[in-house]
Structure 1
């Protein structure tokens, strides 16, 4: 039986941006449980919601536990992107997208067959990342992500690896 192939590891030429975010799981759970809320549909892709539900069922945890890690990764991505754009420009630059223009579903946290997370950027977000950081900047390999949970908290760290 052959071994599964491992994901490609990018050649590190420099970390140009770092983002971190911390999410209080009970607070997110309360927001998700509000009657009439559309937060989950606007913040997460159908795949993210399915994966969170599947993990919750498999572990006996709450769906909010798994969505909190994904939300932290999305927020950490925005911070890393902003830091990378400033680093590349050599000074503070205005965001390419206003906070209101970000479609959070275009920042998708996906896992490989072993459950290791990575980011998939699409649509307007991917276009804006490319415009601000250059060709190939929206590739998943440029955005390493780590997600962790402890008690009532979920956290994520996202890097931007420049070329």
Structure 2
């Protein structure tokens, strides 16, 4: 499977938790109910999912090098981190993002330790 884009992101968990707790925060509309359930609203787990969304956008952007971006911040809400029966993460794309990236596989790795959460995303064609 040829790789078409790679992205990574690092999130400072305490700062992220502060932003998450702010009234009217924009994060509320970015996480799906499944992501909130899987993360059990733990800041480090949500920060890792945020990092995955950001890393995905970076990987997608890398795949478009030399071309205009297709979508803005609304793409973040159309990327969901899901888990399989063994708790391995995967990205599920829907809406316009899924239509734009039909035939593209999105692979993700998540990590969090102490004050930091990170994600690494690789996009490949089937």
**TM-score, normalising length: structure 2:** 0.92
CA radius of gyration, larger in: 1
Does residue 147 in structure 1 map to residue 110 in structure 2?
A: yes
Among 5, 30, 35, which residue is 1:43 paired with? Answer: 30
Map 1:3-152; keep pairs closer than 5 Å. 12=1, 14-34=2-22, 36-53=23-40, 63-86=42-65, 92-99=66-73, 102-130=74-102, 136-137=103-104, 142-152=105-115
How far does residue 98 in structure 1 lie from its aligned partner after superposition?
Answer: 2.5
RMSD in angstroms over aligned alpha carbons?
A: 1.5
How far does residue 26 in structure 1 lie from its aligned partner after superposition?
Answer: 0.4
| SS in structure 2 at match of 1:27 | helix
| SS in structure 1 at match of 2:44 | helix
CA distance in 2, matches of 1:20, 1:160: 12
CA distance in 1, matches of 2:14, 2:36: 17
CA distance in 2, matches of 1:84, 1:104: 17
Long gaps (5+) in structure 1: 1-11, 57-62, 87-91, 131-135
- Verify the 8 A CA contact 2:57 2:76 in the aligned structure 1: no
Structure having the higher strand fraction is 2
Q: Which has the higher contact order (CA 8 A, sep 6+)?
A: 2
How far does residue 103 in structure 1 lie from its aligned partner after superposition?
Answer: 4.4
CA distance in 1, matches of 2:92, 2:108: 11
- Verify the 8 A CA contact 1:42 1:103 in the aligned structure 2: no
Runs of 4+ in structure 1 over 4 Å off: none
- Verify the 8 A CA contact 2:107 2:121 in the aligned structure 1: yes
CA distance in 2, matches of 1:42, 1:128: 21
How far does residue 29 in structure 1 lie from its aligned partner after superposition?
Answer: 0.2
CA distance in 2, matches of 1:74, 1:81: 11
Long gaps (5+) in structure 2: none
